[in-house]
Structure 1
Amino acid sequence: MVAFTKGHGTGNDFVIIADPDGMLDLSAEQVAALCDRHFGIGADGILRVVRSTSIADGAAAPAAEAGAEWFMDYRNADGSIAEMCGNGVRVFVHYLLRSGLATIEPGASLPVGTRAGVRDITLSDDGYQVDLGPWGLSGDDPLVTADGLPVARPGLGIDVGNPHVVVALAEDGELASLELHRAPLLDPAPPAGANVEFVVPGEPLVRDGVGHVRMRVSERGVGETLSCGTGVAATALAVRHWAGEKAPDRWTVEVPGGTLGVRMFPAHDGEHVALSGPAQLVYSGEVELI
């Protein structure tokens, strides 16, 4: 039997398994079974809590050297390995704090190792803020075809540690008509695939110096989710890119599971993007691995 905790960030839900010494080797099939919403616990992914020194992806990366005791081993619902999860890392840190495995003093940050690098998390008014690090245009700007859209739409490739393609829609009706039970088709398809975000601007786009947009997402290896943290950041970055030089550096993004905040700010290695929002733990139990 394996102990687990179920948690979520704006409806993006995860099975959290503490494995500090890296003794648990979950197969892709076991991950998919745990995440199955009919025959398993049900989740968008697995967060394995492991010390950076106890997992090759942490020990070989700068995680331990940067003082990140803990590494977020994130797996998508289909069992595939993912680089990063913006909602997941907030839930991961919330679990660390509630379990007494880590602390965050006011004004301080907690470093967490991920396959996209070390991410620093701080406390915020709405829960937690994670510095997602530098971002960039990926150069992958495919045409995107999705059920419910009459014609393919151009997408903008954004890299925030994992790959995204953001698609602009004209109004709420188009956003509501999307059928995302099947993954959108990207042409050309990025080599590693991508999460795909569909976004509608708020009316007005900017209020009191803050940008406002609404978004739905189809996550690589998962399908449509109620929220995607890195997708929210990619969406705000894409809309700011389209809006031009006078666009704000602070955004709120509405997703089906709630609202998240995004902030862009300069750093020594280029512009960073930060994501803020809540995290909740729902229940704990034990499960038999099959």
Structure 2
Amino acid sequence: MTTEPQAAGLPGLMGLDFAKGHGTGNDFVLIADPDGLRDISADHVAALCDRHRGIGADGLIRAVRSEALAEGRALLAEAPEAHWFMDYRNADGSVSEMCGNGVRVFVEFLRSRKLVSLSIGQTLTIATRGGAKIVLRTPGGYAVDMGPWTFIRPGHADARGMDSLVTAGGLDVARPGISVSMGNPHTVVALAHVDELAATDLTGAPLVDPLPEDGTNVEFAVPADPLVIDGVGVIAMRVHERGVGETLSCGTGACAAAAAIRFWAGAGAPDVWRVSVPGGDLGVRFLPGADGKEHVELSGPAVIVATGTIG
């Protein structure tokens, strides 16, 4: 499919080639700018991601050679194989550290543009503002080593393992949550039933108290009953992403939700999880990292659905 959206209100973007892709419904506008020559402003991003007047997406991803960006050059010192930098912006134009679904779609975009070659079973290291990420191509998509997870406010959790209160429409009272970093911030709230999850109103941003310093994405998660099925932990989840709103999926959010539910479940909780989001299913796995820390692997599909030119 090829489209040619009109560029009214987008000076400087005439003739810009783009692609549209998604990972479990979390969708992105993608552009290739290998030498970092395009000046993509926050207003440009917001206009391109507008679902009524633009192409429409949860965010924009620019593919830039790491050596062409100061942030990329800094990462090359520790990961010289990370030749491509994923410059990710939220739909409102704000800069974001990482996007778990986005990094899979980013690699699929690089492959579709023949900027990289990657066979099933091979890995590719990608530079992001959340650090270097190793991506494995699988028969069903990609698996990404998202790096270590941490609590944002260690030592502040109460006896229940909660560090904040979250207020959202559709919920009768504020609910306790815990804030987890996956290179970007998340606050996870456990709900008792899928009916409660469906009734939660995410048309506005939930209120988190105290709010992490850089803001937060908020995940509402319902553990399955039983929690573990055939050795796999199962969670249903919805998410409100900062700078975007509710999305059909959030990869780093799925990792954060699995980390929180696993923590609350205690000893004996599995290391492998399936997280069901409105856009599909994601796999999450906890594994030891070479740095001695516990890492999180995210797996799922990535699809390029359209290409076009701003004209």
TM-score, normalising length from structure 2?
A: 0.90
Contact 2:120-2:138 within 8 A present in 1 as well: no
Give the match's secondary structure for 1:58.
helix
Percent of aligned pairs with the same amino acid? 60
Larger Rg: 2
Among 176, 179, 182, the alignment partner of 1:160 is 182
Change (3 A) 1:64 1:104: farther
1:216 equivalenced with 2:241 (yes/no)? no
Amino acid across the alignment from 1:20: P
Give, in whole Å, the separation in 2 of the partners of 1:216 and 1:4.
Answer: 28
Find the counterpart in structure 2 of residue 14 from structure 1. Answer: 28
Paired residues, number:
288
Deviation of the 1:105 alpha carbon: 3.7
- Is residue 2:201 matched to residue 1:179? yes
Residue 286 in 1 paired to residue 300 in 2? no
1:60 match: 74
Shift of 1:125: 3.5
Q: CA deviation at 1:106?
A: 4.1
CA offset digits 1:60-93 (Å, max 9, x no partner): 2337843111000000000000000000000000
What does 1:131-170 align with in structure 2 at a 5 Å threshold?
A: 131-139=145-153, 141-170=163-192
RMSD of the TM alignment (CA)?
Answer: 1.2
TM-score by structure 1 length? 0.97
> Are positions 1:275 and 2:295 aligned together?
no
Picking from 12, 16, 33, the partner of 1:2 is 16
Native 8 Å contact 2:79 2:132 kept in 1? no
Give unpaired runs (5+ residues) of structure 2: 1-14, 157-162
Q: Distance in 1 between matches of 2:55 and 2:104?
A: 20
Change in 2 beyond 3 A, CA 1:196/1:63: farther
Residue type of the partner of 1:251? W
1:241 aligns with 2:263: yes
Alpha-carbon distance between aligned partners in 2 of 1:64 and 1:54, rounded to the nearest angstrom: 16
Counterpart Cα distance in 1 of 2:60 and 2:137: 23
Alpha carbons 1:53, 1:64 under 8 Å: kept: no
The 3 A distance-change label for structure 1 pair 43 and 136 is same
**Which consecutive residues of structure 1, in runs of 5 or more, have no partner in the other structure?**
none
For residue 144 of structure 2, what is the aligned residue in structure 1?
130
